[in-house]
Structure formats: C-alpha cells, structure tokens
Amino acid sequence: MPDGTAQKEFRDPAARLEGLTLSKIERLPPDYWVFQFGSGVVLSTQSYWRVLSHDSILLTSEDDGQKYGLPTPVDAEASIRELLDNRIAARVDVDQATADFTIRFDNGMILQIVNLSSGFEAWTLDSEGDFLIVGRNGCS
C-alpha cells in the first residue's frame, strides 16, 4: 500500500481517471451500469446518473424506455454512447459528503452519478485488482 502523497493519489478517483478515454459503456440487467476507461479502469453503479450539457439535462438513467412524445422510446444505453463514447475524462470530482461523482469530458459533456442513499454504495471504481474505491455517503 502506498504511503504519504502516493497514498492520497492512490485513493483519488481524479488521479485514476483524468486523461483516460471512455472506451466502453454497458448496461447489465436490471439497472447496473458499467463505464470502462482506457483498457481496464471501471466505474460501476446502480445509482441514478445523468448527462448534462452546459445548460441542460440531456439524458438520465430514468429516461430509458420513456416515449416523451417521440416515435420510439428512449434507449438510454444507445443515447449515452452517442454522447460520451470515446470521449476523454478531462476532470473528475467526488463530493466528499454525498459521494456524488462528476466527470467532465473533453467535449463539454458532464456525467454525474447521483447518490440517493445514506447507507448503500453509490458506485465503485476499480482496475483488475490494482485498486478499489467505493463511493458511499460521507466515506468516499
């Protein structure tokens, strides 16, 4: 286990994600989302997420299957791929009180994982056993 400054970086999601390309987005049943960065850094969540532009909400995990007056229901997995696939994580922030996870991409889009639980984990960040960071209320 690293110590001192190295330990802080070891536990810092920004140090692990910034500069990496979002290479894979996958939804597993029932509502488990997997976001792979580079060749093996994986952000997983069953929490609500949303994609923002500079002035609006473009897509949320809750939009999946909704019609909203459109000809076909929203396919959140396909839509999030269109917005974020192969984009570079430019900045990563984790709210230390709530564990809300925010990734700002090189195209200006923002992915937010929103923690709505006081007890369950909101997300995990791991890399093939090299490290595991768990985002939880007051503990991220």
Query: Domain map of the chain by residue range?
Result: 5-136
Q: What is the C-alpha separation between 105 and 86, in angstroms, rounded?
A: 10
Q: 18: which residues sit within 8 A by CB, 6+ positions away?
A: 89, 90, 91, 92
Q: 108: which residues sit within 8 A by CB, 6+ positions away?
A: 53, 54
Tell me, what's the pLDDT at 132?
64
- The pair of three-digit structure tokens given for residue 69, joined into one six-digit string: 């007056």
CATH number of 5-136: 2.30.310
| Sheet strands (E) in 38-99 | 41-45, 48-52, 57-60, 89-94
φ, ψ of residue 8 to 5 degrees: the values are -60, -45
Q: 49: which residues sit within 8 A by CB, 6+ positions away?
A: 33, 60, 61, 111, 112, 113, 114
Would you mind telling me the total number of residues written for the chain in this entry?
140
> Is the distance from CB of 19 to CB of 89 less than 8 angstroms?
yes
Tell me, what's the pLDDT at 136?
61
- Residue-level pLDDT, tens digit, the chain, 140 residues: 444 444 444 468 888 899 999 999 999 988 899 999 998 899 999 999 999 999 999 999 999 999 999 999 999 999 999 999 999 999 999 998 888 999 999 999 999 999 998 888 888 899 866 666 677 656 54
Q: What is this structure's pTM? A: 0.86
